[in-house]
Structure 1
Amino acid sequence: MSEGERELWLRVSGSEDELRSLRDWLRHEDGLRGRVRAFQSPLAPGEMGGALDALAVAVGSGGMGAVLANCLSTWIGQRRSDMRITVSTRDGRTVEVDAKGVDPQALARDIERLLNSDETEGNPQ
């Protein structure tokens, strides 16, 4: 992650396959290519591989939050209606998105709000 970028964490309710699908979807978006990392649970004894837990997406200025929001909105729109996505920052601030009637503009505003509040933390006004 380069200077000036923030990392948002994405988690999906439901199966691990849904998170893998989202990872593949985001990796094919030109504006997010090379900015998506997958995180897996540590291996338990007897396991062959860890479960996929979350995706980390490095976003910066220049409307990348809107790019991410549009990608998420499109992907969610093609999923089952009872799914939820949680977008969070390192300090635990979150936005939850329900697949039922997701509003791309509202999601973009929520993501930008997460990114902007992260930038201003610790900076006295």
Structure 2
Amino acid sequence: MACATATLRTDGATEDVRALARWLRDGDGLRGRVSLADGQAAPGGAGQDGAAQDAALVVLTSATAPALVRWLFDWLKHCRTARQVSLTVRGADGREVELTCGSTTDAARVLASTRAVLAGR
């Protein structure tokens, strides 16, 4: 079964990433697959204040990708501070897709893009 790594960053405070990681850890299908990567620089460099941003990391398979998308969009509906999450999915073959997920983003499109990376397409 193909694996991928999903890196998630929020447009809010560092605590938002930590809250997202906790939310995902509690989600059915994701337990044991979520970690927090402190101090990783955001794509393109450090955050606006010059500090590195935190990221939530999720190990994905084709079986767990739907759970990630479901729990991510549920969190966005309930979060009062973050409006968007940057999702980067990197397959074992190095293929990568970067998506911006918001509360009104099409979850089906995000899931399809994630599955394409997992399938090596």
Equivalent residues in 2 for 1:66-105, closer than 5 Å: 66-80=66-80, 83-90=83-90, 91-99=95-103, 101-102=104-105
Higher strand share: 2
User: Which of 1 and 2 has higher RCO (CA within 8 Å, sep 6+)?
Assistant: 2
C-alpha RMSD over aligned residues: 2.4
The runs of at least 4 aligned residues of structure 1 exceeding 6 Å deviation read none
Q: Normalising by structure 1, what TM-score?
A: 0.72
The percent identity for this pair of structures is: 25
Tell me which residue corresponds to 1:45. none
- Deviations 1:22-76 (CA, angstroms, capped at 9, x unpaired): 111011112000000111117xxxxxxx9661111111122x2111111011111
Where do 5+ consecutive residues of structure 2 fail to align? 41-50
**For the residues of structure 2 that align with 1:65 and 1:118, how far apart are their CA atoms?**
9
What are the residue-to-residue correspondences of 1:1-125 with 2, within 5 Å?
4-41=2-39, 53-62=54-63, 64-80=64-80, 83-90=83-90, 91-99=95-103, 101-102=104-105, 106-121=106-121
Structure with bigger helix share is 1
How big is the shift at 1:89?
2.2
- C-alpha displacement of 1:84: 0.8
Contact 1:95-1:111 at 8 Å conserved across structures: no
| Maintained 8 Å contact 1:38/1:52 | no
TM-score by length of 2: 0.74
| Count of matched residue pairs | 107
Measured in 2, the distance between the counterparts of 1:25 and 1:68 equals: 11
Assess if the C-alpha contact under 8 Å between 1:66 and 1:108 holds in 2. Answer: no
Deviations 1:71-120 (A, max 9, x none): 01111101137611011123552110123x34xxx324323323323532
Max Rg structure = 1
Contact 1:65 1:108 in 2 (8 A): no
In the alignment, structure 1 segments of 5+ residues that lack a partner are 43-49
